[in-house]
Amino acid sequence: MISIYQVAAKNLLRKRTRSLLTVVGIALSAWVLVSLLGFNRGYENALSKDIDNMGFQVLVAAKGCPYEAATLMLKGGTGLRYMNQSVTKAILSHPEVEQVTPMLMQAVFDPNKGEDGSLTAYLGVDPVTFPPMKAFLKFKQGGWFTGQDARQAVMGYEAAELEQREVGDSILIPEKNIELKVVGILARSGTQDDGTIFVPIKTLQGIFDKNDKLTGIGIKVNKKADIAALEQKLYDLPDVQVVSLAQVKQTIMSLVSTAKIMVLSIALIAILIAMVGVINTILMSVLERFREIGILKSMGAMPWDVFRMIWVETVILCLLGGGLGVGLGLVLSKVTDLLIRRLLPYAPTGSLILIDGGLALVTLAAVVGVGLISGLYPAWRAARVRPLESIRAEGD
Amino acid sequence: MPGNKLIRALFLIVCLGFGSGILLAAVGCDLNDPDRDVKRLFPGSTGYQTVYVSISEKGGLDLLRTIEDRLGDSFKGLFETADVPYTMYRIYRGQELIGYIHGVNQKGRYGGIQVFLALDLKGTIRAFYIQKLTSRQARFLRSPEFGRQFEGLSLTDFYAYDPASGRAPGSSRVSAISNPAPEAQDDFLATLRAVKKNLILVDEFLLGNAHLPARTSRTGGESGSRSER
């Protein structure tokens, strides 16, 4: 005996073109839906990773000291204050702290930069602790310093481009009349490191006669630690200011959440379009088969049987379209990723579209669920067909 | 405070995002303060227009090879590439075009040298200006006396100079340019190379190749396509 599923499938095959177009419509909607949901997850993950990759979550600087090279330039190189190197030990004693890296920023005036002269800033970093914290920094040429107090420099890409430096070249610290050998050129990172000239901290302390002095300390916090609590403890240290990237991250993520709502709204529109398409197709199919349904009922089919048959047709269409759309989403996720990267002013590193098995199943379930709801009205209309009326109406 | 948080967040977005977008392009050589510098280099000018152009956009690798041939040296290293955007200033007195200013980056002994030339409409140097130079002898090479040696020269004179060997025939006007700081010979030679490259680029992009050694049918200059703003 023929099953209700076979009847439903045969019904769909009778109008192949229409069924195919409906499946394609559902597939496109499912593709958009799964890609948008994947983008929501992927973008947030990638952005979060980029922020974490900035190396340290908390920066401690001497109170009132500009902690960015740009700010230092704006202030005309003035306002540098120093902490004693012993502060690093005090910070390391907190259990929340995983690692610290001391930094010293110094600037010199170069009268031969422009008409009125300009400042050049150098950042002294610890060759042991700084590179692991900034693991995302890649080299275009060369590598990190070969010694703790080597007269060497690593240049950010932009700094090297301005100075036209390559590995093996020398740079001159104008006021000090000291040469440093360039041992590394960083690849572009899209961060302020691109414009920085890094020098081993001991070398820089020696050149500027600032032994045991620091302008900043980068702190990497244990993953499960309460950063806010640590910040409060750090404020107890004398004459320091605490700059927390955790706050920044939280604020950025709340901005991203707003964008997510917009993306989900677009996804909702995609679902609604698919829903209307399904209702239209099934309803048309019911209206065209008005007489046929009447005959089925006159032969003993109950309203529930007719309801189920129409509903199953909807489910088959949605399963096929949903499966195809999710498949397309999975297969073309890299292509979508590339397209989105071209459109976005800033795209974080890492995959922007994150579609896994779970998300694929959720999307398929959503599409089938929407299909079931969409099929309710046409199925209800079909179940209510009165045999005699339908046969007579078609005859007329 | 929420305000501070927002400012920090915006700062980070700028650093992470929009900054990175901008940073993707190679860096050209712009006047630090064009309003002031143009008046100084071109007394009597009343305005200027900025034209951005790169070798890759105007003719790609073929054009690069042609420019290298004219220069007598190849483009070198990480940063002397075909996609460097050159900033060219067209100088006006009222509505009348009276000349050009153009600068190039050149690798020096201790850093990048930025060499600017102010040229009349025929491509003759009216003023020479080193905007940036890191050297112990920088003050000599940036002195007006040194710069005055370039005034009145054009690409025709600089064809005699070979940047690869750093030599020019004794009879040429370029050989008459004296180095005011013999200790900075590297930077002196780099400056001469920068001047020749500068003149070739202006000839190619603005003067319609008026100074080709053997005139060919090749055109270019202002009649060619350009990016402008």
pLDDT in tens, B51-89: 999 999 888 999 999 999 999 999 988 889 898 999 999
Is A346's Cβ below 8 Å from some Cβ in B? yes
- B111 closest CB neighbour out of A163, A251, A348: A163
Q: What single-letter DSSP state applies at residue A192?
A: G
Q: What pLDDT, on the 0 to 100 scale, is given for residue A266?
A: 83
Residue type, A190: G
Burial class (CB in 10 A: 0-12, 13-18, 19+), B120: middle
What is the mean pLDDT of the segment spanning B5-20? 41
Among chain B residues, the shortest Cα distance to A190 is held by: B20
**Between B229 and B74, where is the model more confident?**
B74
Residues of B in contact with A255 (CB under 8 A): 9
CA distance A222 to A91: 13
Lowest mean pLDDT among A91-105, A125-139, B15-29, B131-145: B15-29
Structural domains in chain B (count): 1
What percent of chain B is modeled with pLDDT above 90?
Answer: 67
Among A166, A177, A251, beta carbon nearest to B6? A251
CB contact under 8 A, B136 and A255: no
Whether residue B110 and residue A171 make contact (CB cut-off 8 A), yes or no, is: yes
Is B20 part of any domain? no
CA-based nearest residue to B118, from B76, B152, B93: B152
Picking from A243, A251, A346, the nearest residue to B9 by CB comes out as A251
Contact A164 B21 (CB under 8 A): no
User: Which of A53, A73, A112 to substitute to test the interface with B, most B CBs within 10 Å?
Assistant: A112
What pLDDT is recorded for position A82? 87
Q: Is residue B172 part of a domain?
A: yes
Of B15, B112, B136, the CB nearest to A164: B112
State residue B46's pLDDT score: 94
Residues A154 and A167: their CA atoms lie apart, in Å, by 9
pTM assigned to the model:
0.65
Q: Assess if residue B153 is contained within a domain.
A: yes
Q: Pick B212 or A322 by higher pLDDT.
A: A322
Q: Are B180 and B47 in contact (CB under 8 A)?
A: no
Residue B19 domain-assigned (yes or no): no
pLDDT band at B17 (very low <50, low <70, confident <90, very high): very low
CB contact under 8 A, B33 and A115: yes
Per-residue pLDDT for chain A (396 aa), expressed as one digit of tens each?
Answer: 677 788 788 888 887 888 888 888 889 888 988 988 898 888 888 877 776 666 788 888 887 665 555 555 555 555 578 888 889 999 999 998 988 999 999 988 888 888 888 888 899 999 999 998 888 889 999 999 999 899 999 999 999 998 999 999 999 998 899 999 999 999 988 778 888 999 999 999 999 999 999 988 999 888 777 788 888 888 888 888 888 776 666 777 777 788 778 888 888 887 888 788 888 888 888 888 888 888 888 888 888 888 888 888 888 888 999 999 999 999 988 888 888 887 776 677 778 888 889 999 999 998 889 888 888 888 888 888 888 777 776 555
| A152 to A69, A92, A201, A326: CA distances (angstroms) | 20, 28, 11, 53
Assigned domain for B36 exists: yes
User: Residues of A with CB below 8 A from B13's CB?
Assistant: 252, 346
Residue B5 included in any domain: no
pLDDT attached to residue A231? 86
Task: Pick the residue of B6, B11, B12 with the most A CBs within 10 A to test the interface with A by mutation.
Answer: B12
Residue B15 lies in a domain: no
Interface contact B5-A247, CB threshold 8 A = yes
In this prediction, residue A326 carries a pLDDT of 92
Q: Pairing state of beta strands A83-84 and A213-214?
A: antiparallel
The residues near B103 (Cβ < 8 Å, ≥ 6 apart) are B29, B30, B31, B87, B114, B115, B116, B117, B129, B131, B198
pLDDT, one tens digit per residue, over B108-128 is 999 999 999 999 999 999 999
Q: Which of residues 193-212 of A touch B (CB under 8 A)?
A: 194
Mean pLDDT in chain B?
Answer: 84
CB contact under 8 A, B15 and A192: yes
Contact A309, A8 (CB under 8 A): yes
Nearest 5 degrees, angle CA B16-CA B17-CA B23?
A: 90
User: Which residues from A are below 8 Å from B37, CB to CB?
Assistant: 115
For A172, what's the count of Cα atoms within 13 Å in the CB-facing half-sphere? Answer: 17
Query: For residue B218, what are the domain limits?
Result: 27-228
Q: Which residue of B has its CA nearest to A181?
A: B110
Q: Report how far residue B140's alpha carbon sits from residue A276's, in angstroms, rounded to the nearest whole number.
A: 79
Residue B25, pLDDT > 70, answer no
Q: Which residues pair with A58 in a beta bridge?
A: A219, A244
Selecting from A164, A171, A177 the residue whose C-beta is nearest the C-beta of B136 gives A177
**pLDDT of the residue at B228:** 34
